[in-house]
Amino acid sequence: MISQSNYKNIVREALDNVMHYLSPAEKRQSIWMFLLLLLGSLLDVFGLASLVPVIMAASKPGSVFENRYSVALYHLLGFSSEKAFLIFLILALLGFFLLKNAFVTLINYQQVRFTARLALNIVRSQLNKHNNLPFWQFNKLGSAHLIHTTIGIPGSFVNSIIRQLFTLFSEGLIVVVIVLGILVYQPVLFFILALVLVPTTLLTYRFLQKRSMKIGARLDSLKPLSYALLGDIFAGFIELKLANRQEQFKKRVLENQEEHQGLEAVLYLFSLLPLKVIEMAAILAVVTIYLYSLLFAGSAQNLVMIIGLFAAAAYRLMPSVNRLITALVAMKQHRFTFEHLNNLREYASWQLPAQVPLRFSHSITFENLSFSFPESEKPVLHNINLTVRKGEKIGLIGASGSGKTTLINILLRFYIEQKGRVLVDRQPLTDENLLEWYKLVGYVKQDTFLMETSIKANITLNDESVDEDRLNYAIDQASLRDFIDSLPEGINTLIGERGSRLSGGQRQRIGIARAMYKRTEVLLMDEATSALDNQTEREVNEAIAKLAHTDITIFIIAHRITTLRDCDRIYELKDGKLYAEYQYEDLIDKSLIQ
């Protein structure tokens, strides 16, 4: 059942959520805006109320002298002709409307600027939150959900909560002022109006609010699903075409869209409903009063006047009441935005502690290190002990799922060990030296992250003041020189979405160049050579061989033995344990990997 408390809840909840994103100065500003908004609404009502007497006076000669207020004003302003007085009144009315509308437009301008700023605050907070998420949680959420909650949810919150709050306050005030006016001048009319409009409004709201809330929540879950499906369709363009699965995926997107569009259509219908219902109730009331007056009352004179007044009041109130219900229903419908904004909120303001320096001159040590994922009992890494000296090249091999990538992710602090520690020059890696550590490490993943921009921007990660010497060094170290020289636009060549205009080897070498540009001292490579053809494998290996002659410390996860030629030591991981240590030659002899 809808109750007063339910009505209050959504408004209070909305206000609580809005307050969270306002600075103290913005809170003060919002109170001012609220007061100005109220003033704007009052002026609106006053403007409308002043129209009727002025027009009536203008249409009936001599009427100015029949009303004591107009007579008083006439004499106060020293007029000597009714005509001049009427011209003055009409011009004053025009001036008033002009000023009022300029004022209301100014308030509206302030209001939209305020909401735009607020929207930005919310997007910023969502971005902070998502950037600060622990890696495993970030992975779990998925990019479709993250995009939806970073941009989609703040958009819905601003449009369907904040803007509706403004509507609620301004229209609410208009309704209150009109209703109070009627109560003072026509108490009977007030009761008839209350009798007709209050139950209709409450029933309409009751009918719409729960249904809208359900539909809103369903749409909220359909949206990221459609992003994810579309992401799959376009990212998997080649694979889906070859497997002849595009139709199947298309069908899923269309099923999703069918439900989506159907629900949107229902919501649209809901938005039209309140006005129609209120209108029906008003007409019903007019007919009832009229019939009553005809059938039961001796003189219908009085009631007919009341009907006229009722119709006039209802006509003015209906749009406002309609907007009130629509605003409340929209807020209910978007109540799900609160949950998204509250979820994981602690990360929005999370900050790294003050950083202490970290030196890497001697060694990196994994000490009694064990790790398991939060939702699983079985450790993925078990009591790893390994010391690597600066400048050493370490190979990591092992069956799929043996824990190689997890070990690298721990070294990168994307996962944090439950037991043991990682030491750099005997200093444990913690949040206090994380940024210092990140200055030293570079990571070349199997699927190198590439942006739809130039080779240069990809290597420097959009560095605004590029160090050209460093860039040239990086290009040489990654064996990209010949390739770049062969391109008409050289380093400024655009590489297409996710590097679509590059070969697999070129993509990986851009990853290596990026790590070199950054002055990486510890390079982590998750080698994808198993997925590369012989030519590109040669290209990547050439880049790795070049790096072997530097004092960069390298960890390479390898699937092909040739990648490990320059490694000082090679470790095999098995079921999360360091199972054996090899030299390159041992592996060739044993043909452990190919």
Ligand X SMILES: Nc1ncnc2c1ncn2[C@@H]1O[C@H](COP(=O)(O)OP(=O)(O)OP(=O)(O)O)[C@@H](O)[C@H]1O
Question: For ligand X, which residue of 308, 319, 391, 401 counts as binding (CB under 6 A)?
Answer: 401
DSSP summary character for residue 560? S
Tokens 């109540």 locate to 335
Shortest Cβ 211–ligand X spacing (Å) = 38
Which amino acid type is present at position 309?
Answer: L
- 400 makes contact with ligand X (CB under 6 A): yes
Q: Which of residues 355-394 bind ligand X (CB under 6 A)?
A: 373, 376, 380
User: Should residue 414 be labelled a site residue for ligand X when binding is judged by CB under 6 A?
Assistant: no
Pick the binder of ligand X from 402, 427, 433, 529 (CB under 6 A).
Answer: 402
How many residues belong to the site for ligand X (CB under 6 A)? Answer: 13
Torsion sign (Cα): 392, 393, 395, 396:
positive
Q: Which stretch binds ligand X (CB under 6 A): 78-86, 270-278, 399-407, 425-433?
A: 399-407
Both tokens assigned to 506: 């070129």
Assess 319 for contact with ligand X (CB under 6 A).
no
- Percent of the chain that is helix, strand, coil (3-state, to 5): 70, 10, 20
CA angle (94, 98, 101) in 5-degree steps: 135
Q: Of 94 and 399, which has the nearer Cβ to ligand X? A: 399
CB closer to ligand X, 200 vs 372: 372
| Segment near ligand X (CB under 6 A); pick from 363-371, 398-406, 437-445, 486-494 | 398-406
Residues 61-80 that bind ligand X (CB under 6 A): none
**Among all chains, which residue has been given the structure tokens 């219902």?**
277
Q: CB of 571: closest distance to ligand X in angstroms?
A: 12
Output the CA–CA distances (angstroms, integers) from residue 38 to 110, 172, 219, 421, 430, in the order listed. Answer: 14, 10, 34, 61, 53
- Smallest distance from ligand X to CB 576, Å: 7
| Site stretch for ligand X (CB under 6 A), options 36-44, 190-198, 309-317, 400-408 | 400-408
Q: How far is the CB of 135 from ligand X (least distance, A)?
A: 8
Upper half-sphere CA count for residue 443 (Cβ side, 13 Å) = 17
Encoded tokens for 372:
């398991």
Per-residue contact string for residues 160-199; x = within reach of ligand X by CB under 6 A: ----------------------------------------
Which of 340, 404, 514, 518 touches ligand X by CB under 6 A?
A: 404
Q: 455 near 492, Cβ under 8 Å?
A: yes
* Residue 577, H or E segment: strand 577-582
For Cα atoms 286, 289, 292, give the angle at the middle one, nearest 5 degrees: 145
Judged on CB neighbours under 10 Å (0-12, 13-18, 19+), 403 is buried
Alpha-carbon distance of 265 to 279, in angstroms, equals 22
Give the N- to C-terminal CA distance of the chain in Å, as an integer: 70
Site map (CB under 6 A) of ligand X, residues 132-151, x = contact: ----x--x------------
Using the CB atoms, write b or e for 128-154: b if 16+ within 10 Å: ebbebbeeeebeebeebbbbbbbebbb
Segment contacting ligand X by CB under 6 A, of 62-70, 72-80, 324-332, 403-411? 403-411
Task: Determine the Cα–Cα distance for residues 212 and 334; give it in Å rounded to an integer.
Answer: 9
Which window, 63-71, 215-223, 397-405, 421-429, contacts ligand X (CB under 6 A)?
A: 397-405
Minimum Å gap between C-beta 403 and ligand X is 4
* From candidates 41, 149, 164, 405, binder to ligand X by CB under 6 A: 405
Rg for the chain (alpha carbons), in Å?
A: 36
Q: Which is nearer to ligand X, 201 or 406 (CB)?
A: 406
Q: Is 403 in the site for ligand X (CB under 6 A)?
A: yes
Q: Which residues bind ligand X (CB under 6 A)?
A: 136, 139, 373, 376, 380, 398, 400-406
